[in-house]
Chains A and B, each alone.
Chain A
Amino acid sequence: MRLWVGFGGLLLVMNAFAAEGQPTIDWLKTVVFAGHQTDYSGVFIYQYDSHVETSRITHVVESDSEYERLESLDGPKREIIRHHGQVWCYINHKMVQVDSQQGGSRFPSLLPGQLSALSGNYLVKEAGLERVAGYNTQVIIFQPKDSLRYTHKIWAHTDTGLLLKTAVLGDKNQVVEQYTFTQLKIGGDVDRAWIASSKGTGVSSKPTGAVSRNNPDVSKAGTPINSGWVVDALPAGFKKTMEVHRPMRGKHAPVTQLVFSDGLSAISVFIEPSDADEDDVEGLSSRGAVNLYRKVVDGHLLTVLGEVPSRTVMQVLDSVRYNGKP
Chain B
Amino acid sequence: MKHKISVLMDGELFEDEAEVLFDQIKRDSSTHLDWATYHLIGDVLRQPDSIHRDISARVRERMLNEPTVLVPRSRALKQRVRTVALSAAASLLAVGVVAWMSLQISPEAAPQMAMQQAALRPASLQIQPKSNDYLMAHQEFSPSTDLNGGASYIRTVSYSLEEKPQ
**Interface of A toward B, CB cutoff 8 Å:** 28, 31-32, 35-36, 44, 46, 51, 53, 55, 57, 59, 68-70, 72, 75-76, 78, 80, 82, 87, 89, 91, 96-97, 99, 101-102, 106, 108-110, 114, 146-147, 154, 163, 166, 171-172, 179, 233, 241-242, 246, 248-250, 257, 259, 261, 263-266, 268, 270, 281, 283-290, 292, 303, 305-307, 310-311, 314-315, 318-319
The 5 A-B pairs at the shortest CB distance, nearest first, are namely A268-B138, A285-B125, A266-B142, A287-B127, A233-B107
Q: Mark B105-149, 1 if CB is under 8 A from A, else 0.
A: 001001100110010010111111001011111101111101111
- Provide the residues of chain A in CB contact with B166, threshold 8 Å: 91, 96
The answer to whether A283 touches B121, judged by C-beta atoms less than 8 angstroms apart, is: yes
Knowing A266-B141, A284-B123, A287-B126, the reply to whether A78 touches B147 (Cβ < 8 A) is no
- Provide the residues of chain A in CB contact with B107, threshold 8 Å: 233, 315, 319
Give the residue of B118, B127, B156 whose beta carbon is less than 8 angstroms from that of A314: B118
Give the residue of A59, A99, A307, A315 whose beta carbon is less than 8 angstroms from that of B137: A99
Q: Which residue of A lies closest to B113 (CB)?
A: A318
Knowing A290-B135, A303-B134, the reply to whether A284 touches B118 (Cβ < 8 A) is yes
Complexed CA–CA distance, A315 and B118 (Å): 13
Knowing A51-B158, A99-B137, A270-B137, the reply to whether A179 touches B151 (Cβ < 8 A) is yes
The answer to whether B127 touches A290, judged by C-beta atoms less than 8 angstroms apart, is: yes
Knowing A80-B153, A261-B141, A319-B110, the reply to whether A109 touches B158 (Cβ < 8 A) is no
Complexed CA–CA distance, A264 and B145 (Å): 10
Q: In whole Å, how far is A214's beta carbon from the nearest beta carbon of chain B?
A: 11
The answer to whether A248 touches B121, judged by C-beta atoms less than 8 angstroms apart, is: no
- Provide the residues of chain B in CB contact with A283, threshold 8 Å: 118, 121, 123, 125
Q: In whole Å, how far is B35's beta carbon from the nearest beta carbon of chain A?
A: 14
B42 within 8 A of A: no
The answer to whether A266 touches B126, judged by C-beta atoms less than 8 angstroms apart, is: no
Name 8 interchain pairs, CB-CB below 8 A, sorted by A.
A36-B149, A172-B57, A250-B133, A265-B143, A266-B142, A268-B138, A284-B118, A287-B155
The count of residues in chain B whose C-beta lies closer than 8 Å to any C-beta of chain A is 46
Q: In whole Å, how far is B126's beta carbon from the nearest beta carbon of chain A?
A: 6
Knowing A87-B136, A270-B134, A286-B126, the reply to whether A307 touches B150 (Cβ < 8 A) is no
- Provide the residues of chain B in CB contact with A179, threshold 8 Å: 148, 151-152
The answer to whether A265 touches B159, judged by C-beta atoms less than 8 angstroms apart, is: no
The answer to whether A87 touches B127, judged by C-beta atoms less than 8 angstroms apart, is: no
- Provide the residues of chain A in CB contact with B61, threshold 8 Å: 147, 171
Q: In whole Å, how far is A302's beta carbon from the nearest beta carbon of chain B?
A: 12
Knowing A99-B137, A248-B137, A268-B138, the reply to whether A80 touches B126 (Cβ < 8 A) is no
- Provide the residues of chain A in CB contact with B134, threshold 8 Å: 248, 268, 270, 292, 303, 305
- Provide the residues of chain B in CB contact with A106, threshold 8 Å: 146
Q: In whole Å, how far is A250's beta carbon from the nearest beta carbon of chain B?
A: 8
Q: In whole Å, how far is B142's beta carbon from the nearest beta carbon of chain A?
A: 4
The answer to whether A259 touches B138, judged by C-beta atoms less than 8 angstroms apart, is: yes
Q: Which residue of B lies closest to A96 (CB)?
A: B166
B84 within 8 A of A: no
The answer to whether B153 touches A75, judged by C-beta atoms less than 8 angstroms apart, is: no
Q: Which residue of B lies closest to A97 (CB)?
A: B136
Knowing A311-B115, A318-B114, the reply to whether A261 touches B159 (Cβ < 8 A) is no
Complexed CA–CA distance, A178 and B91 (Å): 52
Give the residue of B114, B154, B160 whose beta carbon is less than 8 angstroms from that of A70: B154
